[in-house]
Structure 1
Amino acid sequence: MMRGGAFLEADWRRETLRTNLWLVPAVEAAVAAALFACTVLLDRSAYNGRFSLPTWVLSGAADGARQILTTVAAAIITVVGLVFSITIVALTLASTQFGPRMLRNFIRDRGTQLTLGTFVATFFYTVLVLVAIGPGPHGDFVPHLSITVSLALTVVDLAVLIYFIHHIATMIQLPQVIASIADDLGRAIETQGGTDTDVPGTLRAGPTEDELIRRIESSGATIPTPASGYLQYIRHERLVLIATESGAVLHLPYRPGHFLVRGQPLATVWPAEAAPEVAQELTRGHVTGPYRTLTQDVSFGVDQLVEIAIRALSSAVNDTFTALTCIDWLSECLCRITTGWHPQRVHRDVSGHIRVIAYQADYDRLVQRAFEKIRQSAPGMPAVMIRQLDGLHKIMEQTSAPARRQVLLEQAAMIQRSCDASVPEEADRLDVRRRYRALLALRDDVEPAPAEL
């Protein structure tokens, strides 16, 4: 079921914080500072004779301690440079092979962030311990426990480095990249696709959605977009509150994922008298930015998989099997959408009155986005056509709704026509026709197959 607006906003904020390379290292550096404060406090207590350190703690003079810590810090900072270099190489490969829009998937990878953070935290901790060495009332103060912990962190860093090399080698493999995108898309589908609150036959207060749309179109006032960018997130609950306080109804003609130009209509308000008051508060109800996100934009995940497939089918790459893998995962995600997926379009206040009517991506459009561009990029390629028909077959098995089945049949018919027009070999055309015939057999009202089938 679709979760509430507070959960979606939390997802959006978490996604925003996750898509950077500084947050996790900063948090780990803060943890390293706290660890240093604890260990150096114990070292001070041992130095003042309040207790004795365990026998496994390293001992030595101040000069030897400085030499050890300097060597460790130099080695750590060298490895940090290596890790950054490997990361940049991975990002470059991702941009070339998967497309520039895939870079955010690598930047947000937790394994990379934790590796960078671990090395940065160890270096920070080692430098703090090095600075702590100095003269004291009982001779030189040498934080033996802190030095021991620093060496232990170095051993941990070695294990993390081995993990990172394995992780990068696995992460840049195409099947893993595609599966990761599909997994993110699947979670977005489950998050966003519950049951629409405006269920037919349910008693609701005030005019219906169609009546309100007619009023808005006839006498509503438009509010322009304050800044250009991709619409990333809409705070529907806040918009409902704003509309309730103004006694208005908002109609949002765009959904997250659309690019808005400054001055373009962002929302339409009815009655028109409420527009100035709503416009002042509307900036708190939406977020625009330079890129798309999956938080409220399921079609973005579909587009990512389609982009990889199209790039694989290009003459420069010519990697048919990668395209087939993308089709498989697209089919799996669309199977989730086929049953019980109804993004919330109408948002009401506590009294049951409609306050926000939002534009949402629908089933028909998602199916078209998943199949049409790949079909257009694969003329004369029966392997791709067969895999697309197999995917449509799997999706069609999951639904009995005539309207949704008709969308799938339309896509299958276009694939069949493309095959007849572009595949020269009769045996290949027969293979595609057999898949098409199997799809037609799933219809509730099976029509006689055309003579040429």
Structure 2
Amino acid sequence: MRPFRPNRLRGVGRVSCISVVAAVAVPWSGVFSGWRREELRTNLWLVPTVEVLVAVLLFWGTVSLDRAVYNGRLSAPSWIISGTADAARQILTSIAASVITVVGIVFSITIVTLTLASTQFGPRMLRNFIRDRGTQLTLGTFVATFVYCVVALVSIGPGDHGDFVPHISITTTFGLVLINLAVLIYFIHHIATQIQLPQVIAGIANDLARAVEVQSADAAPAKGDAPGDRASVRELVATIETQGSVIRTPKSGYLQFIRHKTLVRIAARAEAVIRLPYRPGHFLVEGRELAAVWPPEAADEVARYLERAQITGPHRTLTQDVAFGIDQLVEIAIRALSPATNDTFTALTCVDWLGDSLCKIARVWAPTQVHRDSAGAIRLISDQVSFERLIQRAFEKIRQAGHGMPAVMIRQLDALTTIMEQTTDPARARSIMEQAEMIQRANLESVPEVSDRGDVERRYAALAACYRRLPTSG
């Protein structure tokens, strides 16, 4: 690794705005594309809008065929529905009225589902239901059919050869009605399945696993592990903290996304180093520190484009915030363990999926905190959540809520044992043992039954034995 060279920062005042703009105007790809897709997916209007446009295009095609048949350029097949203009209007009016009624029912079911999700699973689960593709497709199918019926109804009218009746379009409407019936049956089954707690928990865990895979694939290979490199980074951080210029947060909100590569380009163009004290998932307060830049002369240039490289919003997202997925599972578990709910089995299910998620994280999680430009110079130092912190978030609150519950303690120790088997790093293994030791202390303090305490102690002993067998434990 080539250490950071301060003399490369000279001449920062001569950096042109054009060069910095060029650094910002890089195609957005990778994790950012995933963030953009996620934002679009959580909009109920997008899929229905696309389906309505498809319905309009479909009508344009069918009515063109109807015009060709009407003018004698084509002959309609014998199975095409025929009838008078009045009969066609009556059929289309009846279908449109029925479809819009079903649309209201589907919207009502969706609202009831969202209300149930907010009450039973927590308000942060609402986005998981809003982003459900099945619900969006169902709404879009019915709305698109209604629009198709309306435009077909409007097209009926007098013509040069008598009343123009779009027989092919009307026949297509009957086909759409059959599709709507199938979609309605699917929607009822889908909603009945979707609101089941095991399904919700598994869905969150799967989303978390995908987020971990994307972030791990997007992360650059870690550098700076040599002792000299780490010392150089610490020295640079100390320099930024004491001599750097602070950029303030322009507006409050949760930090949702950071374009690390763009920040590296901005810093390289300005011959500067940027340090970010926050990571996605943190709440930013307007006027507080957003970033620190060194040398101070580069702060104005960096601040001008820094906001474009970071995205804030009113809520957290999973795209770069793996801890958010863990927090969602923990929230469901805590609600299940509350005296008002007292649903231990749901909490155990959450612990199982937390263990599975952390096993995957233990195998691939290696976040990059130090980012370099193409020449190897340090340009960005970011804050990243560590594996040890993820372990704490996954087990601490559930341990506290499950105080005195042997079943919860046993399941947590089983999950920790499974995670330990996937770990070779001594620091990570030690953080797992720390959680196990706290569970064991809670067991000795809060479980009065000797037999129950013994069950927990045996699980703890099995985990401790697994820890001692690791080559890194010595």
* Offset at residue 51 of structure 1 (A): 1.0
Partner residue in 1 for 2:10: none
Instruction: Read off the aligned partner of 2:124 and give its amino acid letter.
Output: R
Equivalent of 1:92 in 90, 93, 115 = 115
Deviations 1:62-110 (A, max 9, x none): 0000000000000000000000000011111101100000000000000
Partner residue in 1 for 2:125: 102
* Offset at residue 203 of structure 1 (A): 13
Instruction: Read off the aligned partner of 2:314 and give its amino acid letter.
Output: P
Partner residue in 2 for 1:289: 313
* Offset at residue 324 of structure 1 (A): 0.1
Partner residue in 1 for 2:420: 396
Partner residue in 2 for 1:52: 75
Q: Note closer, same or farther for the CA distance 1:124–1:345 as it changes in structure 2 (3 Å cut).
A: same
Partner residue in 2 for 1:77: 100
Aligned length, in residue pairs? 443
Deviations 1:144-180 (A, max 9, x none): 0000001110110000000000000000000000000
Partner residue in 2 for 1:380: 404
| CA contact 1:250–1:270 (8 Å) conserved in 2 | yes
Q: Note closer, same or farther for the CA distance 1:206–1:387 as it changes in structure 2 (3 Å cut).
A: closer
Instruction: Read off the aligned partner of 1:378 and give its amino acid letter.
Output: G
Deviations 1:369-413 (A, max 9, x none): 000000000111000000000000000011122211110110000
Cα distance in 2 for residues equivalent to 1:395 and 1:11: 28
Partner residue in 1 for 2:271: 247
Equivalent of 1:305 in 329, 341, 361 = 329
| Alignment of structure 1 residues 332-371 onto 2, 5 Å | 332-371=356-395
Q: Note closer, same or farther for the CA distance 1:206–1:329 as it changes in structure 2 (3 Å cut).
A: closer
Cα distance in 2 for residues equivalent to 1:103 and 1:207: 45
Deviations 1:100-141 (A, max 9, x none): 000000000000000000000000011000000000000000
Partner residue in 1 for 2:18: none
Partner residue in 2 for 1:217: 241
Partner residue in 1 for 2:11: none
| CA contact 1:251–1:267 (8 Å) conserved in 2 | yes
Equivalent of 2:466 in 442, 446, 452 = 442
Instruction: State the percentage of identical aligned residues.
Output: 64
SS in 2 for 1:37: helix
CA RMSD of aligned residues (A): 1.8
Cα distance in 1 for residues equivalent to 2:469 and 2:335: 38
Equivalent of 1:188 in 197, 208, 211 = 211
Cα distance in 1 for residues equivalent to 2:89 and 2:46: 30
Partner residue in 1 for 2:193: 170
SS in 2 for 1:442: helix
Deviates more, 1:192-201 or 1:399-408: 192-201
Partner residue in 2 for 1:119: 142
Cα distance in 2 for residues equivalent to 1:318 and 1:444: 36
Q: Note closer, same or farther for the CA distance 1:205–1:417 as it changes in structure 2 (3 Å cut).
A: closer
| CA contact 1:196–1:342 (8 Å) conserved in 2 | no
* Offset at residue 198 of structure 1 (A): 3.5
Q: Note closer, same or farther for the CA distance 1:121–1:445 as it changes in structure 2 (3 Å cut).
A: closer
- Note the residue ranges of structure 2 that are not aligned, 5 or more in a row: 1-26
Partner residue in 1 for 2:3: none
Partner residue in 1 for 2:281: 257
Q: Note closer, same or farther for the CA distance 1:420–1:241 as it changes in structure 2 (3 Å cut).
A: same
Instruction: Read off the aligned partner of 1:430 and give its amino acid letter.
Output: G
* Offset at residue 209 of structure 1 (A): 2.3
TM-score by structure 1 length? Answer: 0.95
Cα distance in 1 for residues equivalent to 2:210 and 2:362: 15
- Note the residue ranges of structure 1 that are not aligned, 5 or more in a row: 447-453
Instruction: Read off the aligned partner of 2:207 and give its amino acid letter.
Output: D
| CA contact 1:206–1:353 (8 Å) conserved in 2 | no
TM-score by structure 2 length? Answer: 0.91
Instruction: Read off the aligned partner of 2:165 and give its amino acid letter.
Output: V
* Offset at residue 192 of structure 1 (A): 1.1
Equivalent of 2:181 in 141, 145, 158 = 158
Instruction: Read off the aligned partner of 2:44 and give its amino acid letter.
Output: L
Cα distance in 2 for residues equivalent to 1:305 and 1:70: 48
* Offset at residue 224 of structure 1 (A): 0.4
| CA contact 2:222–2:367 (8 Å) conserved in 1 | no
| CA contact 1:193–1:344 (8 Å) conserved in 2 | no
| CA contact 2:255–2:311 (8 Å) conserved in 1 | yes
SS in 1 for 2:468: coil
Q: Note closer, same or farther for the CA distance 1:419–1:143 as it changes in structure 2 (3 Å cut).
A: same
| Alignment of structure 1 residues 419-438 onto 2, 5 Å | 419-438=443-462
Partner residue in 2 for 1:449: none
Deviates more, 1:265-274 or 1:399-408: 399-408
